[in-house]
Structure 1
C-alpha cells in the first residue's frame, strides 16, 4: 500500500483522534531533541578544542583553582622547637633548602613533609612502615638509598629536595611547577604517600618554624656546604664518606669516625639512659657505615639498625680512639674480632684482669676499664662534660628485650657486680 493508504488503514483501526494525539507527541519530542542536542554537540566540540589549553594548565597548577579540594586540615599543628632534636633537624632541613636555592617556599614544604612523616616530632626515626626510616620516612626498597644515607639528616633532606647524588629518585626540584602547587600536592608528588592530602595540615606550623630558624639556618655551615651530595663509591655499602660531614653541623657535636675517646663518646652516645632507644646518633651511624665499608666488626648483619651491639660499640670506641688499636683483633673479623665470646679470651691474653666485681669500688675504676659478663660488655669512661653518668654501653635486640643504642648509664655502683660471670679488665 501507498503511505496515504497505510495512514487511512491505521486510522480506521485506532481512531482518528488517537492518531492525531500520537502525532502531536512525536512532534514535541522531535523539537526537544533538536533544542537539547545543539548545546550538547557544541559542548563536545568545546571540550575537544579546550583539551590542549587544559593540559597546559595542568602542567603548572594554580593554587587558587585547587585550594580546599580534598585537603585534610584538621586542628592547627605546631612544632616544638624547644625540643633540641626537633629544632636542630628543622635547621638542617631549612639550611639544605637554602643550599639548594629553594628559598622559604621549599623549606616550608620540606619541614611540613618531615613533620607529617615523623608524627610531628621531626626526629630521625629508626622505624616506620615496612622499611621506611629517617626524617622523611624514605625506603631503601624504593631507591632512596641505604639506611646509613636515609638516616643522615643532611642526605635525606637533599634527597627530598632532589639535589642528592646517592639517589636518582625525583625530588622537589624535579616536580614541574612545584612553586605554584598546594603544599600537600608538592609533598605528595615526591613522597607518594597513602595519605596524599594530609601534608597541608602542617603548613601553618611549618611556616612558623621556618621563620623562627631562618636566620640561624642562613648562618649554619650546611646552608653553604655541599657536604653530603658526593657520589657513593662504587661497591661501597652506603656512603660512609658522605656521612662524614663538617664538624659542628649535626646535633650533639661532630660526626666523627675517629678522635679522642671523649670526642667519640659525645658524637656516638646519648648523654642519658633510656632502655629501648634504638635511634642512632648521626656520628655513630657514620662510624658503623665506615666500619662496614672497611670490613670491620659491625655485629649481626640482620640487626636493624646495624651496629647496636655492645661489642661493636666498645670495640670501635677503644680502637678508633687509639686507646688500644689492637683490641678485639683491631675490630677486624679477619683478625679474630667478634662478640663477647671472642673479646673475653682476647682480654685474658692481653689486658690485666682486675679483682672480682664484688670487691671493686667506684674509686678503683679508671677511664678505659672494660667490664664483661656472659653476653654483654661495657666500658667505664669517667665524667664527660654534658653526659649523665660514667659508664657507656649499647645492646643488641634479643629475646631479653629491645636493646638500646650507645648511651651513658648513670649507675653510681659497679655495674653487674652481682652477676657471677662479670669480670673487669684494664689495659696493661
Structure 2
C-alpha cells in the first residue's frame, strides 16, 4: 500500500509527526561520551514533558546519576491492568555531527525533498516523535490500549546507557513496575528485495537480537629510551604488532537463531542460497544491498581497533603504549571470544574491559510479534515481518536485566534505493516524510491491539 497524498484523512498523530521530528532535531542533544561536554538532554526532556502534559499526562522527570542526564516517564492505563505492561522507549541523545560535512545544518530539522534532515533523524528522534505523536493522540482522544503502556524517553544511549537506562534499571526499577515486554530501536524498517519472478517484496526487519558490546583497552609495557639507539624492546612496536594481528583476524562464522531465520526468510523471497558453508557467502549477502553490512557483521564476532596512544616526544621511546578496540560479540560466544583474543595478543599485552554489555536474543514468536505483524499488514498488505540481529546495541541490554522481553520495532516504509544503514551516525542523516507517516499509522494500530 503506497503512502497516500490525501491529508484529509490523516489522524492527529500523522498530521503532527513531521513537525515533532523536526523540533526534536533542532534541540542539539549531542552525546560526546564525556559527561562534561554532553548537551541538550535536559532541554529535550523538558520539551517532551510539555508535549505530554499539554494533552493531560502526568509525567515523571528523573536525572540518572548526575545533573542534566534527563529521562521522562509517563503511563497510559490499559483496559486490563492485570496484564503485563508494555514499555515504549526511545533515547533523546545523538552522536556528534560536524556541520561542515553536511549539505544542511545537522541541527536544522529541515524538511525538504520529501525528507526530514538532521542528526537523529533515524537514530532515533524519528521513533521518539512517532511514539510521542501516538501517545498524544491516544490521551487527547481517550483511547484505551489493551494493556498499560509506559512511555520512556531516555538519556545516554549513544554512550552505552551508563547514565541512562542502566542507571535507571539499577537505581529506579520502580519506574518499570509491571513491565513484561518492551519496544524500541532498531527494527521495523523495510528492505525491498527482488523475487525470482522479477517482482519486489518488502521485508520488515524486526530486531530480536543484538550483539554484545565490549570496548577493550590494550597496553604494552617495555623499556623506555632514546629514539636514536638500537632498541629491540619497544612498547609501540609490541602493541602495534598485536593490534595488527587482532585487527586482521577473521573470527569463525557462527549461525545464531535470529540470523538463520532472517537468511531462511530472505532466501525464500529472493531465491538466493545463503549457505553458511559457501565460500562466497559474503558475495551472496552483497546482493541484498546496504543491509549486507549489518547482516555480515552478525555472522561472526568482530574486534576493530579504533584508538591508539603512545609517547610524548619524537625522540623518546615510551615505556607504555595503549590501544582501544571495539569488540562486538555474538550471544553465547563470550568465553570463546576472549580465549581467541588472548591467543592473538600473546602474553606481553595487558587487556582490560572498558565497557562490557551482554548480547541479547529472544524468539520470533508470541502475541506481541503477532500484533506487530498485523499492524504492518493493515498498512502494507504485501509486507513480511522477519527477525534479524542488530550488529550494534541498544537500551534493550539494560531492560533485559529486569527480565523484560525486548524487540526493535520502529516501522518505516523506505524507498528501495535509500541506503538506510549508511544514515545511522552518517552524514546527511534523514528520514522520508512518507515513512514517518507510515510508521505513525502502524504504531497507532499496534498500540491499539498490543
| Pairwise TM-score range, normalised by the shorter structure | under 0.3
TM-score by length of 2: 0.23
Q: Normalized per residue, which structure has more strand?
A: 2
TM-score by length of 1: 0.24
Query: Larger Rg: 1 or 2?
Result: 1
